[in-house]
Homo-oligomer: A and B are copies of this chain.
Amino acid sequence: MAVWPLARFPAREVMRGSGVNIAIDRQSDVPLYQQIVRQIRQLITSGSLTGGFRLPPERRLAQTLGVNRSTILNAYRELKANGWLEARVGRGTSVVPAAARRTDPHHERTDGQEIGWRQLFRERFVGSEDAVLRDLLGLSEREDTIPLAMGLPAPDHLPLDTYAELMSEVITDLGPRSLLHSPTEGVTSLREALCEWAAEREIPCEVTEVQVVSGSQQGLDMAARVFLDPGDVVVVEEPTYIGALQTFRDAGARLIGVPTDAHGMRTDLLEAILQRRRPKFIYTLPTFQNPSGVVMPLERRRHLLELAGRYQVPVLEDDPYADLRYDGEPLPALKALDSDNLVLYLSTISKVLFPGLRLGWLIAPPSVRQQFTLVKQGMDLHSSTPGQFLLERYLRRGFHREYLASIRREYECRRDVMHRALSRQDIPGLSWNRPSGGFYFWCALPEGTDRARLLARSAEEGVSFLPGWACFVQDPGRSHIRLNFAYPGVEQIEVGVARLLKAVRYAVRSRQRASPATTSTPPVV
């Protein structure tokens, strides 16, 4: 099973595929391909599948079960390796007749079951917490699914030619240096270019304050490593970026959520938290927030910084979308207003250029930047050398400014298309923002929408979204979903939203038909 960045759906599905009954349990710790291996093996040993039985082609079974093709590939491969299945050109995959079967179970790879791997894993076991945080893209990978889920830029507009040209230029100009090790802080000339980038946004920045990171996810992870001991408190907005929740939780942090409204973090509620708890830092996405799309106004920015200064709590400002404004005037970043030098500023090229390059940057006071550097040295020595040289030239030559101007117009158009598509419906209780920048519509679903049915029906209809309830420290009760309008094309947006609304209608109706939910707490015995 390909574990893609972010979230798989927590649903138990039983599906019928070409005569093979296989139940997929996505909540289980057993990998999907292993679940399939075990069940096919069981079907063979029980005699349900007999020698010569032809299994469905990998692609078809994958579609039927709603899993990646590689999952089926892996399952078939293991069953072949262990002598249960065989493949012949032109005949597909079939069950090996019992007489021809290797029967010694000791020859079977048992995936580490001899040794108690689980007892060797560390106590704060990663796999235990984030079933929701896995494999969101399992669905998005399916060709018949319209992906509104992921936080990706438009693939059809990426400046690929510029990339190819600059890359061969870098190799020619710099020779071996472009492919050898580079400093842990980042290539110096890129750090200088990033200072210029920051200066254009009125963020004061010296080269010594810049740390290049392998995407902003690594920046978050480094922040956790520099600051967090288990039990430390971190303040986050609710909702917030799902990957940050995962990383801070994984570091053993206790998360305190500050509610948000249409203007972002409710800073009026922040002071009480800072008084009672002593957080290591406040994590915020003030501009075109993920997932809600909202922008924190100037007064709240000032208030947040004032509180941070008064209580001497650093602010980790995550700012990947700032350059993607479609309406109105830009607001200064928190870092640009930061007279107390309390803000750690994180940004990335993943939302405006090439997410696959894994490049971002952190701006922090030198003594903190130095800690990030030491931590990064133990993590991966440094980020990709050729990618850094490429990004430097891309920024310096003005390609970035040029590309931003054109992609903003494109995204503005896509946003308006999604807004119109959502407006063309009549579902009472469905509401959404119309974001002035960034990637996301944040839709509040009608009260009583059945989440499980919505997920299942959306998968059937062929549309994916980010379940908003995964973006909270604690489930808020009310259900939201996040829709990306930047990645899909105009036609995909229209069809995708239509499919989604169909699924929502179904999930609302079905809940209303069901008897009203009675809540009761079973005794824990």
Contacts and interface: CB of A to CB of B under 8 A. Distances in A.
12 contacts: A3-B185, A115-B312, A122-B226, A122-B229, A130-B374, A152-B181, A158-B179, A160-B171, A160-B175, A246-B377, A357-B384, A384-B384
A104 interface: no
Interface string A89-103: 000000000000000
Interface string A357-389: 110000001111011011101111111111100
Contacts of A177: 155
Contacts of A403: none
Given A78-B206, A167-B164, A229 B123 contact: yes
A219 to B, nearest CB: 10
A111 interface: yes
A112 interface: yes
Interface stretch (A41-49, A210-218, A327-335): A210-218
B384 A247 contact: no
A358 B380 contact: yes
A382 B367 contact: no
Contacts of A434: none
A215 B264 CA distance: 39
Contact of A31 (B117, B225, B281, B367): B367
A399 to B, nearest CB: 14
B181 A367 contact: no
Q: How many of these chains are in the complex?
A: 2
A520 interface: no
Interface residues of A, number: 108
A476 interface: no
Nearest to A214: B380
A406 interface: no
A428 interface: no
A246 B381 CA distance: 12
A206 B108 CA distance: 13
Interface in A138-181: 150, 152, 155-156, 158, 160, 163-164, 167-168, 171-172, 175-181
Interface of A: 2-6, 31, 33-34, 70, 73-74, 77-78, 81, 109-118, 120-124, 126-127, 130, 133-134, 150, 152, 155-156, 158, 160, 163-164, 167-168, 171-172, 175-185, 188, 206-208, 214-215, 217-218, 221, 225-229, 232, 243, 246-247, 250, 280-281, 312, 314, 340-342, 354-358, 365-368, 370-371, 373-375, 377-387
Contacts of A208: 31, 33, 74, 77-78
B366 A31 contact: yes
A523 B159 CA distance: 67
A163 B177 CA distance: 13
Given A3-B374, A112-B368, A246-B378, A356 B182 contact: yes
A208 B34 CA distance: 10
Nearest to A33: B208
Contacts of A31: 208, 366-367, 370
Given A116-B312, A164-B171, A365-B117, A179 B354 contact: yes
B179 A168 contact: no
A122 B225 contact: yes
Given A109-B341, A185-B3, A368-B112, A379 B34 contact: no
Contacts of A243: 378, 381
